[in-house]
Amino acid sequence: MTPHEQYADLGHQERSGRFGIWVFIGSEVLFFGALFALYAGFRAHYTRDFEEASRHAKLWLGTANTYILLTSSLFVALGVAAIREGKRRQLAVFLVLTILCGLAFLVIKGVEYSEHFREGIEWGAAFSDPALPSRGALLYFTMYFVMTGLHALHVLIGVILFGGLLVRMRGGRYTGEYHLTVEVVGIYWHFVDIVWLFLWPSFYLMH
Say whether pLDDT at 10 is over 70. no
Say whether pLDDT at 143 is over 50. yes
Q: How far apart are CA 141 and CA 110, in angstroms?
A: 15
Question: Mind listing the pLDDT tens digit for each residue in 74-131?
Answer: 999 999 999 888 888 899 999 999 999 999 999 999 999 999 888 888 776 666 666 6
DSSP state of 6: T
Q: What per-residue confidence (pLDDT) applies to 17?
A: 62
* Cα distances (angstroms) measured from residue 98 to each of 92, 158, 162, 174: 10, 9, 8, 18
Domain boundaries, the chain: 33-205
Q: What per-residue confidence (pLDDT) applies to 8?
A: 46
Question: Mind listing the pLDDT tens digit for each residue in 173-201?
Answer: 776 667 788 889 999 999 999 999 999 99
Q: How far is CA 95 from the centre of its chain?
A: 16
- The reply to whether CATH 1.20.120.80 applies to domain 33-205 is yes
Q: What per-residue confidence (pLDDT) applies to 181?
A: 85
Coil, helix or strand for 117? helix
Q: Which of 144, 156, 163, 154 is nearest to 191 (CA)?
A: 154
